[in-house]
Amino acid sequence: MKKFFILSTIAVFTLCPSKQFAQSKKKKDQKEVPVASPEKKPESSIKDYNKVITKDAISDEGLFTVHKVDKKYYFEIPNKYLNKDMLLVSRLAKLPSNLGGGYVNAGSETNEQLIVWQRFQDKILIKSKSYNSVANDTLPISISVKANNYEPTLYAFDIVAFSKDSANTVIDVTKFYSTDVKAISGISAEMRETYKVRGLDDSRTFITAMKSFPMNIEVIQDMTYNASKPSMLEESESISIQMNQSMILLPEVPMKPRLADPRVGWFTVSQYDYGSNELKSDLKTYITRWRLEPKDPEAYNRGELVEPIKPIVYYLDPATPEKLRKYIKQGIEEWQKPFETAGFKNAIIAKDAPTKEEDPDFSPEDIRYSVIRYVASTTRNAVGPSVIDPRTGEIIESDVIWYHNHLRSYRNRYLLETGAANPSARTLQTSDEEMGEMMRMVIAHEVGHALGFPHNMGASCAYDVESYRNGDFTQQNGISASIMDYARFNYIAQPGDKNVRFIRKMGTYDHYALNWGYRVIPTAKSPEAEIPTLDKWILEKAGNPIYKFGKQSSAFDPTSQTEDIGNNSMKASSYGLKNLEYVASHLSEWTSTATNNYQDLDELYKELLDCWSRYVGHVVTNVGGIYENTKKPNQAGSVYEVVPKAKQIEAMNWLQKNAFESPTWIVNVKTLQNTEFAGYTEKFRNLQVRQLNNLMTLGRIGRLMDNEILSGDNYKALDFFKDLRKGIWKESAVAGNVTVYRRNLQRAYIDRMGYLMTEEIKPNDKSFVYYNTGQSDLRALVRGELTTLRKLLVTAKAMGINTETKYHYEDCIKRIDLILNPIK
């Protein structure tokens, strides 16, 4: 090897003669070699600072200094911030009606990415950085991690100037914020296809505002797209949106993260650690939480309540109506008690926003301030988005957004769900005190999200149904073990029940979960070292339903449902329907009679039908249901457990009686004749068919087929189909006439059976557990049931029935024939 190096060196000197050798040759030849004139260098694009940032510049100092010169915008980037981790968050500030099918609101986040600003030659690059794959820089594998996760360049800017002391670099960002950069766009690829977006119209696109704060920069863009099929005003062929782009400096010293455990509900961030000692990349998932550190660690370790170094402070939007302010503050500070459980006092504080005189620099857009924003909008919602450090899960800032009309939703639900047992709810003019209590709890719920908690849909199943009729119990425990459930009102309590609480409140689970996530474990020096203590806290509460976390995504688990309360859906929904029937009979009296118009009656009657559908849907989930009990291998029992056969039969019988019978009260003809000119039977057909189709889903039937191989006497797919047929078609066995509602339902049943004969589950469909519908028992079961039904109908149509029923049966037979023997 050494010899090769020497030879190579000789070869280099042979090919490249020295300067001395060239000069000797020149003297010998005595010839002048003409010297070519140097090429004229192109004028540098980097100009003097004063020629770019002129005296006419409007400047705003902050993280970067932002300059506006005429129609151009510049960032003056301190070089110390190059290669520093920042977060780029894109949100919709304003949007047209029904954009995204109505599921997208102002404030909705459209993109979030970790970025760094880097210099490359005479350019500044924005690089999108990922923490999905990591390894400690001291480990050799970190080289491979970087090489195999090369970060994309979002945008490249020419350097246009340097500051006079060369400490800052100036770039022109006008084009970046006024053109269609997909990485920060509010119009997704799906929207572009749906609305036939042809492109951005430069003439109707501009930067509205740009503001720099000490830790963030906020940019407002007005973007107008040419679109053939916009979500509103189709003749305009335009979609205009306003985007809010936030660029946020992340902490120099990352917070120590806490490893997540699926048995306790938290929002999370994840990354693959290639530096792990495991024989594969180790997926590490961290909970999202604020950085709370005790001022006096020694006192904290002794078990004393200690204030945090930096408390969580929420400021009220100055636009908040005066009469609501105290309730919003109370909602925020509802979390003080759970924080005390975790050892912190005054950990979360509500304040009025300072006046201009008190703090002229205060702004809700400043990332240093978290704000409860009060938005004048017809949207009926409230949301609690947060800015999260993806490296550790640290919550940097959050804004709870309250939309003005959300109170109307709660008034309506309060009247419909509690009006039978709660005289004070029987009015459109709900008292300020009651509305304030509702708002207080909604704010507490949204702040819970902003503290790191997802919905806990299992918390409302912790209490026995009959407990909801007990005044002492409900006053002490509320209607759910957690404020993070969607358990809004006590719809179980009956007329005559005394001292019952109807509105939700904080629960025991909220104290438990907050302590689990926020309590400092001083003896643990790493996230891994905390695991034994965290495990111990969970195992101490295992088996108690009050401390169970139920995922919102567990659509198959009847104990983790949205909008339900109580530990038995059939009992709870029976009470709910009984109350709803009472409300339906008095709805005109409480609305149109009082207001002398039908607008509120119409609105509330439609929402009453939605209530009916919710109560029925809660029962449906029990059929083919699976209990999900998240646990580790050192805990007894299985994670997934089939709902007992008796309970599934109970649910099927309940549905036949309450959901599929002809309605006697839900279709209120008197109300409809004052609000609708037609479509009376269609209203209930739609409600019934929605639940019938929900019951007859491919996924549910697949779970029932699985029950055949499980131990024990389980409810099977064949049982399901037989019971459903006998109930839906019971008139055919007794020569009974079929009402118009039942005729509609029976035809829907045949249509759904036709769907089951032909539909395939696609492997990439996340809503189902995949199985091969063509080779499973599904088609055989459907064919057998339709064949049996056809025989029944042939016999039934010859019995003493009215003409409508006879024609109906003849039509159904033809429909079955087309399914079993389709026309080629």
DSSP string, 346-396: S-EEEEEPPPTTT-TT--TTSTT-EEEEEE--S---EE--EEE-TTT-BEE
Q: Do residues 468 and 565 touch, judged by C-beta distance below 8 A?
A: yes
Decide: helix, strand or coil at residue 664: coil
For the residues 291-303, what does the mean pLDDT come to? 97
Q: What digits encode the pLDDT tens for the residues 10-47?
A: 333 333 333 343 344 444 444 454 444 444 444 568 99
Q: Do residues 395 and 290 touch, judged by C-beta distance below 8 A?
A: yes
Nearest-angstrom CA–CA distance, 176 and 70: 17
Q: Do residues 504 and 478 touch, judged by C-beta distance below 8 A?
A: yes
DSSP string, 385-400: -EEE-TTT-BEEEE-E
Q: Over 70: is that where the pLDDT of 551 sits?
A: yes
Nearest-angstrom CA–CA distance, 517 and 481: 17
Tokens of 26: 């020149």
For the residues 187-194, what does the mean pLDDT come to? 88
Task: Go through 177-195 and write b for each residue having 16 or more CB atoms within 10 A of its CB, e for each that does not.
Answer: bbebbeebbbbeeebbebb
Q: Over 80: is that where the pLDDT of 229 sits?
A: yes
Percent of the chain topping pLDDT 90: 69
The helix or strand, by DSSP H or E, that contains position 160, with its residue range, turns out to be strand 153-162
The pLDDT value given to residue 26: 41
Q: Over 60: is that where the pLDDT of 275 sits?
A: no
The pLDDT value given to residue 530: 97
Q: Over 50: is that where the pLDDT of 609 sits?
A: yes
Nearest-angstrom CA–CA distance, 52 and 241: 31
Q: What digits encode the pLDDT tens for the residues 613-627?
A: 999 999 999 999 999
Token pair 């809503």 is found at: 767
Q: What digits encode the pLDDT tens for the residues 321-372?
A: 898 999 999 999 999 999 999 999 999 999 999 988 998 888 888 889 998 8
Nearest-angstrom CA–CA distance, 335 and 451: 9
- Say how many C-beta atoms besides its own lie within 10 A of residue 347's C-beta: 26
Nearest-angstrom CA–CA distance, 286 and 550: 19
Q: Which residue in 609, 743, 583, 745 sits closest to 675, CA to CA?
A: 609
Task: Go through 247-265 and write b for each residue having 16 or more CB atoms within 10 A of its CB, e for each that does not.
Answer: bbbbeeeebbbbbbbebbb
For the residues 495-514, what does the mean pLDDT come to? 97
Q: Which amino acid is at 360?
A: P
For the residues 59-81, what does the mean pLDDT come to? 96
Token pair 């690059």 is found at: 125
Q: What digits encode the pLDDT tens for the residues 111-124?
A: 888 999 999 999 99
The pLDDT value given to residue 27: 41
Decide: helix, strand or coil at residue 327: helix
For the residues 555-582, what does the mean pLDDT come to? 96
For the residues 603-613, what does the mean pLDDT come to? 95
Q: Over 90: is that where the pLDDT of 593 sits?
A: yes
The pLDDT value given to residue 163: 94
| 770 φ, ψ (degrees, to nearest 5) | -70, 135
Q: Categorize the per-residue pLDDT at 136 as very low, low, confident or very high, splitting at 50, 70 and 90.
A: low
Nearest-angstrom CA–CA distance, 438 and 385: 21
| 336 φ, ψ (degrees, to nearest 5) | -65, -40
The helix or strand, by DSSP H or E, that contains position 115, with its residue range, turns out to be strand 109-120
Q: Over 90: is that where the pLDDT of 8 sits?
A: no
Q: Which residue in 524, 477, 522, 536 sits closest to 501, CA to CA?
A: 477
The pLDDT value given to residue 3: 39
Tokens of 720: 């399901």
Tokens of 242: 């306003």
Q: Do residues 626 and 642 touch, judged by C-beta distance below 8 A?
A: yes
> Which residues in 626-720 belong to E strands, given as ranges?
626-628, 640-642
| 695 φ, ψ (degrees, to nearest 5) | -70, -35
Tell me which range, 19-28, 143-152, 764-773, is most confidently predicted by mean pLDDT.
764-773
Q: Over 60: is that where the pLDDT of 424 sits?
A: yes
CA 513 to chain centre: 20
Nearest-angstrom CA–CA distance, 245 and 184: 8
Q: Which residue in 176, 151, 145, 171 sits closest to 81, CA to CA?
A: 171
Q: Which amino acid is at 344?
A: F
Average per-residue pLDDT for the chain = 88
Nearest-angstrom CA–CA distance, 203 and 632: 59
Considering only residues 765 and 775, tell me which one the structure prediction assigns the higher pLDDT: 775
CA 510 to chain centre: 20
Query: What letter does residue 150 receive in the DSSP assignment?
Result: P
Q: Which residue in 175, 155, 167 sits closest to 49, CA to CA?
A: 167
The pLDDT value given to residue 29: 46
For the residues 577-592, what does the mean pLDDT come to? 96
Percent of the chain topping pLDDT 70: 88
DSSP string, 170-229: EEE-HHHHHS--GGG-SS-HHHHHHTTEEEE-GGG-EEEEEEE-SSEEEEEEEEEEEESS
Query: What letter does residue 60 receive in the DSSP assignment?
Result: E
Nearest-angstrom CA–CA distance, 561 and 554: 8
Q: What is the pTM of this model?
A: 0.86
- Residues ≥6 apart with Cβ < 8 Å to 745: 660, 685, 688, 689, 692, 728
Nearest-angstrom CA–CA distance, 612 and 624: 21
